[in-house]
Structure formats: C-alpha cells, structure tokens
Amino acid sequence: MKALLFRYSFPRFALATVLGKIHPSGYLNRWGPLALVDIPEPVFPAGDWVRVRTQLCGICGSDSKQVFLNGNFDNPLTALISFPQVLGHEAVGVVSETGPEVNDLQVGDRVVLNPWLPCACRGIDPPCQACQEGRYFACEHFTDGALPPGMHIGNNRGVSGGYAPAFMAHQSQLFRIPEGVSFEDAVLTDPTAVSLHAVLKAPPTEPGLVVVYGCGTLGLITVALLQALYPQVEVLVISRYPHQENLAKRLGAHHTLQTSQPLEIIETVAGLVGGEIHSPWNGLPMLLRGAQRIYDTVGSPQSLEVEVRIAQPQAKISISGVANPARFEWTPLYFKEIGVIGSNSFGMELVEGKSLHTFEIVLALMKEKLLDLSDLITHRFRLEDYRQAFMVTHSKGRSQSVKVVFDYEQ
C-alpha cells in the first residue's frame, strides 16, 4: 500500500535544508526525508491488535514541524523515537479485522485512534506506575517490550500511522465513535483532548479574564471548550491572522487581538482588567493585575515572556504548544509566584468524582452537541497530494487553513 514515510538520513536532511532555504517546498523534494512509497500491508504485532481502514487523518502541528525540519537535534525526545516512520496520529476509520484476543471491538466499528504506545501496547505486565495511574504519556517503557522505541503511532518504525490507507492499533488505543458523531467531528478528538487536558490542568476558578495565546487548532478548540465548560470567564484570544480571529469570535471569544507585538498584548490586558502598567528601566513592562489563567498553545520564548508579564500574581499558565527554546527575561515568574504547567497530550481525568479518559469526555461533548468544531476542517487532500497539503499548513495566512486532513474516500 502507499504510505507517507519519513526517513532519517543526514544527506536527505542536508538537501532538504538547502532547498528549503530557497523555498519551503524544497523540504518536500523527492530526495528529502518525506516520500510517498510502497510499504507492506500492516501485520498483527499480537493477538490483541486491530486492523483499521483509514477514513480521515489530520495533519498535526508536530507533523508539520517535523516535515519542515523545524526542530533541534538536542531535543531529548529524540531518544524515544525510531525511524523510518509512517506519520499520522490524528486518525479515524473503520475496523476491518480483529486479532483473536480482541474482545471489545468488531469489524465495522467506527473508531478514533489514541496513538500512545504505553505498557499495554508493548505487552508489559504489570504496567509501570504511570500507566496504572492513567498517565500514559509518562510511560516508563517507551523503548521496551514488543515494539521498537517510539512514544506513539506516527513516530515508531514498528507501527505505521494514519498517513496510509490502513493502520494497526492495540485494542486499548481505539475508542468507538458514538452515533451522531461524524468522522469529521471525531478526527478532531485528539487535538480536542490535548486542549481539554491543558484546561483541566489549570481550570478557571472564578469569573475573570483568561487568555488563549495562539489561534491555531489547539487555540480555537480551547476557546470552544472554555465557552462550553466555563461560561463565567472572559476570554481574550491572541491570533496572527484575520481568519483565525473571525473563527475565535464565532467560537465564543469575548475579545480578540491580532498582533505579534508584545507591548500591544500587555496594554490590551491592562485595559481589560483595569491594571496599572509597570515599566522597567529597559524591556517590556509587567502587570500586577492581569489574567488569572493563560493557555499557551504556542510555547515559544516570546509567548512565555509576555505571559509572565500579563499574568496576575499566583496565576497559572498551562503550556500545550511546542516551539524551539531561547533565552528570555522571566523574573516575573518567581516574583508573582506564577505556576507554569506543562501539559502533555491526554490520559485519565478526574471529573466530578469520576475517572474518565479525555477521549471519552470529548466524544461525549460532541455527542451532546456541546462542541461544534465543524468550521475547523478547512482543507481536504488525497494522500497523493501530500506536498500541496503540507504547503497549505505552512502558509496559514495565505491559505486560511486551520485543520488540514487526508481524506481516503475522495
């Protein structure tokens, strides 16, 4: 079958980097790391695995960063992956075959993929402490067991991802899509779960201003979740492009600010909360009355530098975005006793005394029509048109893209 394969090779990286400096499409040249190739049909790693016929698969921001080589070689997570990889982890499809030990799924079931590959998928029993607690993203065995190194489907050479017409998954990784929830809704389960987990790590506790920094898929979904679950708060969204700003308003944002200028953001927050601006001898000012919660879907040095200035004392900043690190001035972090919380994907959540997987909560919200994210899928492509698909993700301002998906029924 045809699949998008990402290959680790210094010559391929070097050529793609040189050509990519000339034009971003150079990263997608035929001799680069990414190519559409023939691979064998996926096989059952064990009897409790399931074969799924892919229906839709979204392009995650992490996939786009990888394809355009936007990362650092000293990133510690390179110790937890293996190559070559069939990318794609935001996948939905139909069960086409089950292993003999599968007891909860059957052929024809519509399913959404939880891509993480913790102890259960690796045949490790008893599971590690993190897996026992439902923190599968913190599994101690991502390099052990029956599978090669790789945290989740899409970065593991032994299990192909959703950028192919079929993939394999352990039965524990698949969630049935409820009646009334379309494939188009369900393909957003993964990013919605990422956003929900980030909100639940630092939920608003009182009426007041919260800030969503970044207005891509995660940021827009965060706005929708805040509107659905915490209608008492006032939401300010920081966006880059007009189409993002318009979508944020439709999803319930009370205020939007389309800018990349830190001072403009600080002044806007000061005006909304009636806070005094305190200017140092040099550099950016800070506020002592500001936002109670900030959800950072960018994760850059600039975003965090601004956030510690606009946060009120003892506020919390929940970071789900990932960008390359750099030095920034962070004195307000300790001075205002701000809590900066990393938020990694999803897992078991405690909600109203019940322990539920983030996917279960998201699918229930979709079924009950409490989340309408239908406007977020802006582009669909066949897998053969992957170069165009990735260029659309790379030029959000020009293409007005939010979520780009591969559609296997086109």
**Identity of the amino acid at 47:** G
Confidence check: pLDDT of 325 > 90: no
Confidence check: pLDDT of 328 > 90: no
Q: How far is CA 23 from CA 17, 19, 320, 400, in A?
A: 10, 6, 29, 19
Q: What is the pLDDT of residue 72?
A: 85
Is 150 within 8 Å of 158 (Cβ atoms)?
yes
Task: State both tokens at 308.
Answer: 């510690």
pLDDT tens column, 7-30: 999 999 999 999 999 999 999 999
Rounded mean pLDDT, 321-335: 91
- Give 128's DSSP letter: P
Q: What is the pLDDT of residue 372?
A: 93
Where does the pLDDT of residue 285 fall: very low under 50, low under 70, confident under 90, or very high at 90 and above?
very high
pLDDT tens column, 255-275: 999 999 999 999 999 999 999
Structurally, at CATH architecture level, domain 2-115+152-188+374-407 sits in: Alpha-Beta Complex (3.90)
Q: Where are the domain boundaries for CATH 3.90.180.10 in the chain?
A: 2-115+152-188+374-407
DSSP string, 283-337: S--EESS-EEEEEESS--HHHHHHHHHHEEEEEEEEE-----------HHHHHTT
Where does the pLDDT of residue 410 fall: very low under 50, low under 70, confident under 90, or very high at 90 and above?
confident
Q: What is the pLDDT of residue 326?
A: 87
- Give 31's DSSP letter: T
Q: How far apart are alpha carbons 389 and 405 in whole angstroms?
A: 8
Q: What proportion of the chain, given as a percentage, has pLDDT over 70?
A: 100
Structurally, at CATH architecture level, domain 191-342 sits in: 3-Layer(aba) Sandwich (3.40)
pLDDT tens column, 65-80: 999 999 888 899 999 9
Q: Mean of the per-residue pLDDT values for the chain?
A: 97
Strands 277-278 vs 255-258: parallel, antiparallel or unpaired:
unpaired
Q: What is the pLDDT of residue 391?
A: 98
Task: State both tokens at 377.
Answer: 């899928």
Q: Where are the domain boundaries for CATH 3.40.50.720 in the chain?
A: 191-342
Task: State both tokens at 98.
Answer: 């089950």
Rounded mean pLDDT, 189-195: 98
Alpha helices, DSSP H, located in 230-261: 242-250
Taken as a whole, the chain contains a residue count of: 410
Q: What is the pLDDT of residue 398?
A: 96
Confidence check: pLDDT of 237 > 90: yes
DSSP string, 172-208: GGEEEPPTT--HHHHTTHHHHHHHHHHHHHS---SSS
Q: What is the pLDDT of residue 73?
A: 85
pLDDT tens column, 334-375: 999 999 999 999 999 998 889 999 999 999 999 999 999 999
Full-prediction pTM beyond 0.95? yes
Rounded mean pLDDT, 322-339: 92
CA of residue 109 relative to chain centroid, distance: 25
